């Protein structure tokens, strides 16, 4: 079983040797496997010789010596692995001397371990009968006995010094590494945490199991500990991009800390209580204290692990924190900046960019951090339409963990809804301002038309009438001619008045209703080369005046475009009223809209008329040729079109 503890290291070294034969970790794994296998084989052979044959087998002294002293040497592999993990180089040139000192201390400790006399090495325990007379100190020099106890500790002092240097080097490397390198280093963190758990579990099991199986537990724990290191080295060096280690690392850290805390509490209670009560009762007391403290201790450690790995104690702390920030935000720019800051802090991202598409075609962009190239772009939408994008640099490499994707989806949903609400508030304010401005402009236009057009015309007509009155007694023919001229002028004034009235609202809508007015439009545009057909569905009368006028204007502009640009032979106009909206569709079989065609004033006007009522208007090319204009005009109290659709987030996991 002892030899089996070296197999994971040997296998890892063999696999790395086929791919990276010059990598230092390859040779460290092979050396660790060789030492463990050699220790297990020599210890088994020595035990067989001493127990079964009284030390009479060949090479008994050599195998006893090797089996006893080579085993501790495997502890040197872990510090050396941490120093050169994962790329086989030191963190920087400054670490050459500390690492050289650590290796020297370990080498001195190994030499001391090989030379220390057996009586010191075995702590004075008597020799087994089969070892009497066997030379067990082949490399021990003649030194004063007072020096040997000190030399016996030199190996462990060198190991602890080397281990401290390796931990410091590993920590510095982790802090200075890029996200990809940190992904590799997390595998070694996972292995070290697993070793703590296995070591603690072994200690607990050896206390509660019979002595006959204690050594099995120790050997199995050692095999698993070596396997954890071997897997960490193999995966981190060769295939670190294929796996997500964060979740596994989190649970391992949690139970490593939990096991260490439980053992510490149990030992402290046992030792403290053992001074006043007997050992069995002290053990029961320790177990009771551990049972009482387990649940709150686990909760606190879980929050600590979450904070270490993700920067937050609870996964959804970021959502509540963002909600508090959004309450203090005012405009969309400030709101998006708060979103970017919250995402950067909560997900430990060095760079976050939030883009929000506005209704006027402009895009609001806010950034937090230093821009980088390796960004992950996650689009988000509202009511089925894309309204923006969130770009960030994941802290753990090129791929965002699935759990963080789900959490980020919830964050962006909340932020997008708030951003959309703020944007809608601003759009409403702009609409009100435009409405007030439009009313003022319309009044100014009417005043100008009346003052500059109707006013002078009526004044001129009044002067002509006065002139005709003066001419009537002397020259009836001239007066009659003047009055005829006045009649023509007044006919022009009447036409101007009708034009003004038509601009305010088409009179045909009041005379014939929407269907009759659209029929007149169809007859007006219909000719030899164009046939216009009208179909109606639903209850089209009575309808709100705003919906009727918008539908009439959209049909009029669409028919004008068909007549001027489409070159169509047929055009179908469809009007359909539902309980909440009026649907307008104008379809032709003409040449259609060419790709990249510029949007004219007429098309923009159709869309604006629909949007003023809370509806929509879209112009698209038909698959078989021609153009389709489709508008939905909501009407009635509480009707704003379709029911709100759920917010969508394209980067979230199910």
Question: Does 210 fall in a domain?
Answer: yes
Question: Does 126 fall in a domain?
Answer: yes
Question: Does 254 fall in a domain?
Answer: no
- Of 1-15, 220-234, 542-556, 567-581, the poorest mean pLDDT is in 1-15
Confidence tier at 585 by pLDDT (50, 70, 90): very high
What Cα–Cα distance (Å) separates residue 314 from each residue in 299, 301, 319, 339, 396? Answer: 11, 12, 10, 18, 19
- Output the domain CATH number for residue 586: 3.30.565.10
Region 631-653 average pLDDT: 49
**pLDDT digit string, tens, across residues 16-37:** 787 778 888 888 888 888 888 8
Our CA dihedral for 29, 30, 33, 34, rounded to 10 degrees, sits at -150
Give yes or no for residue 267 having a pLDDT over 60. Answer: no
Residues 104 and 212 in one domain: yes
Question: Does 256 fall in a domain?
Answer: no
Show which of 463, 478, 504 is a domain's final residue: 504
Confidence tier at 398 by pLDDT (50, 70, 90): very low
Q: Which pair of structure tokens corresponds to residue 633?
A: 């005009």
Asked whether the beta carbons of 121 and 72 are under 8 A apart, the reply is no
| Residue (of 150, 97, 152, 77) closest to 121 by Cα position | 152
Cα–Cα distance, 433 to 292 (Å, whole number): 66
Residues 147 and 186 in one domain: yes
Region 8-14 average pLDDT: 80
Confidence tier at 561 by pLDDT (50, 70, 90): confident
Taking every pair of C-alpha atoms in the chain, what is the biggest distance, in angstroms?
167
- Of 84-93, 157-166, 276-285, the poorest mean pLDDT is in 276-285
Give yes or no for residue 245 having a pLDDT over 70. Answer: no
Q: Which pair of structure tokens corresponds to residue 255?
A: 């139970």
Residues 43 and 57 in one domain: yes
Residues 35 and 159 in one domain: yes
- Output the domain CATH number for residue 403: 3.30.450.40
- Output the domain CATH number for residue 441: 1.20.5
Q: At what angle do helices 24-47 and 214-238 cross, to 10 degrees?
A: 160
Residues 98 and 164 in one domain: yes
pLDDT value for 597: 60
Residues 214 and 350 in one domain: no
Range of the domain at 624: 512-634
Residues 354 and 236 in one domain: no
Show which of 402, 430, 458 is a domain's final residue: 430
Confidence tier at 333 by pLDDT (50, 70, 90): low
Give yes or no for residue 310 having a pLDDT over 60. Answer: no
Question: Does 251 fall in a domain?
Answer: no
Region 528-557 average pLDDT: 85
Asked whether the beta carbons of 318 and 324 are under 8 A apart, the reply is no
Give yes or no for residue 582 having a pLDDT over 70. Answer: yes
Top-confidence residue, 106 or 396: 106
Q: Which pair of structure tokens corresponds to residue 258?
A: 């939990």
Question: Does 274 fall in a domain?
Answer: no
Give yes or no for residue 645 having a pLDDT over 60. Answer: no
Residues 92 and 161 in one domain: yes
| Residue (of 563, 611, 609, 629) closest to 590 by Cα position | 563
The strand pairing partners of 620, in sequence order, are: 628
| Residue (of 222, 215, 218, 220) closest to 195 by Cα position | 222
| Residue (of 228, 294, 224) closest to 257 by Cα position | 294
Cα–Cα distance, 633 to 580 (Å, whole number): 9
**pLDDT digit string, tens, across residues 378-388:** 777 666 667 77
Give yes or no for residue 458 having a pLDDT over 60. Answer: yes
Count of domains for the chain: 4
Show which of 504, 535, 563 is a domain's final residue: 504
Region 259-270 average pLDDT: 52
Confidence tier at 354 by pLDDT (50, 70, 90): confident
Sequence-distant (≥ 6) Cβ neighbours of residue 412 within 8 angstroms:
339, 378, 380, 390, 649
**pLDDT digit string, tens, across residues 99-130:** 899 888 888 888 887 777 766 666 656 666 55
**pLDDT digit string, tens, across residues 183-212:** 778 878 888 888 877 777 777 777 666 666
388: helix, strand or coil? strand
Cα–Cα distance, 65 to 117 (Å, whole number): 11
pLDDT value for 253: 47
Top-confidence residue, 584 or 208: 584
The strand pairing partners of 533, in sequence order, are: 572
Residues 453 and 524 in one domain: no
Residues 327 and 455 in one domain: no
**pLDDT digit string, tens, across residues 595-641:** 666 566 678 888 888 888 888 888 888 887 888 889 998 876 333 33
DSSP 303: H
Top-confidence residue, 61 or 330: 61
What is the percent of the chain where pLDDT is above 90? 1
Q: Please report the DSSP string for 448-465 in residue order.
A: HIIIIIIHHHHHHHHHHH
Give yes or no for residue 74 having a pLDDT over 80. Answer: no
Q: Which pair of structure tokens corresponds to residue 517?
A: 């007015």
Residues 100 and 224 in one domain: yes
| Residue (of 272, 194, 182, 280) closest to 231 by Cα position | 194
Confidence tier at 250 by pLDDT (50, 70, 90): very low
Residues 21 and 169 in one domain: yes
Question: Does 250 fall in a domain?
Answer: no
Question: Does 557 fall in a domain?
Answer: yes
Cα–Cα distance, 202 to 216 (Å, whole number): 10
CB crowding 103-136: b at 16 or more within 10 Å, else e? bebbeebbebbebbbbbbbeeeeeeeebbeebeb
pLDDT value for 134: 63
The strand pairing partners of 531, in sequence order, are: 570
């Amino acid at each position: 079983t002892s030899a089996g503890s070296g197999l994971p290291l040997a296998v890892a070294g063999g696999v790395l040797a086929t791919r990276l034969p010059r990598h230092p970790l390859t040779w460290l794994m092979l050396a660790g496997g060789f030492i463990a296998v050699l220790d297990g084989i020599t210890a088994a052979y020595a035990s067989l010789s001493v127990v079964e044959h009284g030390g009479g087998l060949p090479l008994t002294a050599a195998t006893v010596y090797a089996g006893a002293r080579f085993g501790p040497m495997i502890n040197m592999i872990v510090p050396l692995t941490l120093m050169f993990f994962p790329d086989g180089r030191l963190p920087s040139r400054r670490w050459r001397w500390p690492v050289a000192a650590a290796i020297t201390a370990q080498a001195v400790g190994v030499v001391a371990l090989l030379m220390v006399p057996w009586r010191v090495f075995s702590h004075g325990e008597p020799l087994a009968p089969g070892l009497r007379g066997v030379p067990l100190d082949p490399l021990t020099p003649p030194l004063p006995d007072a020096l040997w106890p000190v030399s016996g500790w030199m190996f462990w002092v060198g190991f602890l010094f080397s281990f401290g240097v390796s931990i410091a080097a590993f920590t510095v490397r982790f802090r200075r590494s890029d996200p990809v390198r940190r992904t590799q280093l997390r595998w070694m963190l996972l292995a070290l945490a697993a070793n703590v758990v296995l070591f603690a579990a072994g200690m607990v099991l050896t206390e509660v199991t019979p002595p006959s199986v204690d050594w099995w537990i120790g050997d199995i724990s050692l095999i698993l500990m070596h396997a954890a290191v071997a897997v960490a080295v193999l995966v981190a060096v060769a295939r670190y991009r294929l796996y997500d280690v964060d979740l596994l690392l989190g649970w391992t850290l949690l139970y490593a800390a939990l096991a260490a805390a439980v053992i510490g509490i149990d030992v402290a209670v046992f030792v403290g209580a053992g001074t006043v009560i007997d050992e069995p009762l002290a053990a029961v007391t320790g177990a009771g204290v551990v049972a009482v403290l387990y649940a709150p201790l686990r909760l606190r450690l879980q929050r600590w692990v979450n904070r270490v790995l993700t920067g937050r104690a609870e996964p959804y702390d970021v959502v509540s924190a963002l909600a508090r920030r959004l309450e203090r935000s005012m405009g969309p720019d400030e709101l998006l900046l708060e979103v970017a800051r919250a995402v950067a802090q909560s997900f430990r991202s060095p760079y976050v960019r939030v883009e929000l598409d506005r209704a006027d075609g402009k895009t609001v962009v806010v950034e937090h951090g230093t821009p980088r190239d390796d960004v992950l772009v996650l689009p988000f939408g509202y009511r089925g339409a894309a309204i923006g994008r969130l770009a960030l640099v994941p802290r753990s490499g090129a791929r965002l963990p699935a759990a963080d994707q789900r959490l980020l989806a919830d964050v962006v949903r909340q932020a997008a809804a708030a951003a959309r609400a703020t944007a809608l508030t601003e759009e409403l304010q702009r609409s009100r301002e435009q409405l007030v401005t439009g009313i003022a402009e319309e009044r100014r236009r009417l005043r100008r038309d009346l003052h500059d057009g109707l006013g002078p015309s009526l004044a001129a007509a009044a002067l002509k009438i006065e002139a005709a009155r003066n001419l009537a007694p002397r020259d009836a023919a001239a007066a009659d001619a003047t009055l005829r001229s006045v009649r023509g002028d007044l006919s022009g004034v009447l036409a101007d008045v009708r034009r003004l009235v038509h601009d305010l609202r088409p009179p045909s809508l009041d005379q014939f209703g929407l269907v009759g007015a659209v029929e007149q439009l169809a007859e007006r545009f219909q000719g030899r080369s164009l046939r216009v057909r009208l179909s109606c569905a639903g209850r089209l009368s009575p309808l709100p005046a705003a919906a009727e006028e918008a539908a009439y204007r959209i049909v009029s502009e669409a028919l004008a475009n068909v007549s001027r640009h489409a070159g169509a032979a047929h055009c179908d106009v469809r009007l359909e009223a539902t309980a909440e909206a009026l649907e307008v569709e104008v379809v032709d079989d003409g040449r259609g809209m060419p790709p990249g065609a510029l949007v004219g004033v007429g098309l923009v006007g159709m869309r604006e008329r629909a949007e003023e009522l809370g509806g929509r208007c879209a112009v698209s090319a038909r698959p078989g040729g021609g153009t389709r204009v489709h508008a939905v005009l909501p009407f009635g109290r509480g009707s704003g079109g379709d029911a709100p659709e759920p917010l969508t987030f394209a980067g979230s996991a199910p």
